[in-house]
Amino acid sequence: MDEHEFPKKDTPQGDPYPGTSGFSPYPEEPRKLKHSGPGIASFVIAMVTLTGYIVSFIVAGALIGPAVTETTVLNGQSGGAFLFLGMAVLALAALNFIGVVVGIIGLALRGRRKVFGIIGTIINGIILLVFLLLIAVVLMSAGALQ
């Protein structure tokens, strides 16, 4: 062996950059995931429909209020208020269904945060469930009256 030759080693004895994984001398930042667009849309739809339900019940109550007499019997003038409330609730329920579908799409995306998708899907699903239960109760009570 020459005095200028160094012995060759197949494996290094230590990590040349302690504190790293050995691949890079720079510490790796954790990957920041972006929120899913459909998840955010589902959450926004849930908030819009909640606000829409509150506003539609307030407007319908304001329209029905003057039509009620002291004996709590409705006059013939309250039909428009009930029509408004029914159409508003049906439109908002359709929007909730769209919110559930968009939320499920947001949950299916890979490499994205799923917080808004989960929250939007749950809120829209609960509202739809309450809506369907309300329809079932009304249909059962209508059937019991006959």
Q: Map out the domains of the chain as residue ranges.
A: 35-145
What pLDDT is stored for residue 115 in this prediction? 93
What pLDDT is stored for residue 146 in this prediction? 66
pTM of the full structure: 0.70
Q: Report CA dihedral (4, 9, 13, 14) to the nearest 10 degrees.
A: 80
Length, in residues, of the chain: 146
pLDDT in tens, 74-113: 666 677 788 888 899 999 999 999 999 999 999 999 989 9
Residues 93 and 89: their CA atoms lie apart, in Å, by 6
Express the helix, strand and coil content of the chain in percent, nearest 5 each: 65, 5, 30
